[in-house]
Structures are given as structure tokens and as C-alpha cells.
Amino acid sequence: MNATFTAIVKQRGDWWVGWIEEVPGVNGQEKTKVELLHSLKGILSEALEFNRAEARAAAESNYSEEPVTV
């Protein structure tokens, strides 16, 4: 799956902080902007995989997966 998300980033003192705009709870803090963007990418990937697994488990069986485009 390839998708593009928006990272909101800013420097606060010695730290860079950021959030993924489209996914609540995906946020991070690092010493550099590059490290922050790398960290956010990893956290986002984990969050999406967790949500995917949780949705499939909730559906139990006999479900279909349908693409939804916004």
C-alpha cells in the first residue's frame, strides 16, 4: 500500500515535534527534523498495521476487503 500523509512539524527549543495530520495518536519528538520524519514514518506504519489487524479480527470471518478512495 502506498499512501501519502501529512506531517505537521515544528521546532520547540532543542527538539523537533510532529504529528501525522490524518491519523490521531501518531506523533513524535526527536532531536532533528530528519530523525523526526523517519520516526513518524515508522510509528505511522505500525499504527496502520495494528488498525488493519484489529479490523480483520473484529470482522472474524467471511468478510471482504473493498477499496475506498476519498
Report domain extents, the chain: 7-57
Question: What confidence tier does 6 reach under pLDDT thresholds 50, 70, 90?
Answer: very high
**Mean pLDDT to the nearest integer, 44-69:** 96
Lay out the sheet containing 7-12: strands in order across. Answer: 7-12, 15-20, 27-30
Q: Are 29 and 16 in contact (CB under 8 A)?
A: yes
In the three-class reduction of DSSP (H, G, I as helix; E, B as strand; rest coil), residue 43 is classed as: helix
DSSP classification of residue 13: T
- Residue 7, all three cell numbers: 506531517
Question: What confidence tier does 57 reach under pLDDT thresholds 50, 70, 90?
Answer: very high
- Residue 13, all three cell numbers: 527549543
Question: What confidence tier does 1 reach under pLDDT thresholds 50, 70, 90?
Answer: low
